[in-house]
A and B are shown apart, each in its own frame.
Chain A
Amino acid sequence: MYGNAYIDPNDKATAMTAGEDPKKLEEFEARIARGEKIEPMDWMPKEYRKQLVRMIEQHGHSEIIGALPEGTWITRAPGFRRKLALMAKVQDEVGHAQLLYSAAETLGKSREAMINDLITGKSKYSNVFNYPAFTWADACIIAWLIDAGAIINQVANAKGSYGPYCRALDRICTEESFHLKYGHDNVVTLATGTPKQREMVQAALTRWWPPIMHFFGPSDKISNHTEILMRWKVKMATNDDMRQQFLNMYVPKIWDLGLTLPDENLKKNAEGKWEYTEPDWEEFKRVINGGGPCNAERLAVRRNAEERGRWVREALNTTESKYIVPLA
């Protein structure tokens, strides 16, 4: 690595490609610039692989942990149809986790390693799922607005550069449209219902607003790091852009129902941009690092599921099994 002597340690873009074969890097970047996808067996920079594994794996964990707050209301969903729909939605989310884990696996991290990193708390998942679903209305707000946020993120990422991730996301996005409609239908039912129902959905919305504002992550100062990830089409939109898109699409729909949001400063300005009170990023950090109301329960439930299912998986295993990295 002769070139290292010339690298400014503060220049993240250079640090991220340090030691890579310049010719291969150039071909790789040209392929992405042409709009072609990168496939598992292609050459790729180490940092591209690392960032993608981290991102896809966390996305997978979010799907699997996200099934827990929503699952809270399966046994008490109001009515048979909603119970069926909620079970279907929760099953879809677990299916999404499997599709995403598979995409991450093609980059060389095994599913066992990903699950181990989840249950020991080494890997993160979406912060919103560390909050509880107190009432049925919380489950409805999650299905509508958290899924809405997820869709914005997933539609953007589906245009990224890594083939297996894009294909998984295309499949996922199709199913998400059902989740969104189902969630909206539930919220509308409550919001246009009895005073008690309205009160319930308003309370849930007020509770979920801060986590929803946290959903797309901290405001991003454009760093070299972001720039290179955007050039490599790993990151397709900035956190702030996605948050703006979300507010633009959903705040009017919320207000249409006569519901209010707990932020006096929330408004669209003359330039068409949404203004809001800066979310509490200290709270975000505290929760993502384990201090939220449900972090411990979520991981204990996952560990329990892995542990109690272990004997079944072992009993089914055969000695001639041999793992190789999946193809696509």
Chain B
Amino acid sequence: MIKSLDPRITRAEINLENTIEPLRDLDQWETYEVFHQKKRGDQHMHVGIVHAPNAEMAFIFGKEQFGRRGLSVNIWVVKTRDVYVSDYEDSDIYDTVPEKNYREAGGYKVMDKINKFKKGF
């Protein structure tokens, strides 16, 4: 038995030569992606992952891991495997026509036309 400087370890009666079976697959469960909201009114943001056996436990672990300093007012968790993701390899799907000011406010300048129209009035 270990005689430790840490009384908690001495009390746990641990054999120094303990051998154990290796952890099996899924021993640590699957992962959930965690999103938190810093304050009311903000959007939820992805902050990381937790391993959990179910959504409720994922929420508890997520709250402990990311919300223990009072930096979250709300947390969402979702199974990693339920998230549909795009591939960085396919970044060309985000390519678009080089000139896109037809869909921006700055692409529309009416004052010139109005002023010209007024002068000719």
Contacts and interface: CB of A to CB of B under 8 A. Distances in A.
Chain B interface main SS type: loop
Interface stretch (B50-58, B97-105, B111-119): B50-58
Contact of B25 (A42, A303, A323): A323
Given A112-B27, A133-B5, A328-B46, A119 B20 contact: yes
Interface string A295-328: 0110011011011001001101110011111111
B53 A321 contact: yes
A72 B24 contact: no
B5 A322 contact: no
Contacts of B83: 327
Contacts of A45: none
Contact of B4 (A110, A297, A325): A297
Contacts of B22: 112, 116, 120
A313 B65 contact: no
A41 B92 CA distance: 15
Contacts of A167: 48
Interface stretch (A15-23, A94-102, A214-222, A270-278): A94-102
Interface residues of B, number: 46
Nearest to A91: B68
B18 A307 contact: yes
B26 A323 contact: yes
Contacts of A99: 48, 65
Contact of B18 (A110, A171, A304, A325): A304
Contacts of B17: 300
A271 to B, nearest CB: 42
A310 B27 contact: yes
Contacts of A133: 5
Interface string B26-38: 1111110100000
Contacts of B80: 324-327
27 contacts: A39-B88, A41-B88, A41-B89, A115-B23, A115-B28, A116-B22, A134-B5, A167-B48, A297-B2, A300-B2, A300-B14, A301-B12, A303-B19, A304-B14, A310-B27, A313-B27, A313-B29, A321-B26, A321-B29, A323-B29, A324-B31, A324-B80, A326-B49, A327-B49, A328-B33, A328-B46, A328-B48
Interface of A: 39, 41-43, 68, 71-72, 74-76, 91, 95, 98-99, 102, 105, 110-112, 115-116, 119-120, 132-134, 167-168, 171, 175, 296-297, 300-301, 303-304, 306-307, 310, 313-314, 316-318, 321-328
Interface of B: 2, 4-9, 12, 14-20, 22-31, 33, 46-51, 53-54, 57, 64-65, 68-69, 80-81, 83, 85, 87-89
Given A310-B23, A321-B29, 10 more contacts: A42-B88, A72-B4, A74-B8, A167-B48, A300-B15, A301-B14, A316-B57, A323-B26, A327-B80, A328-B48
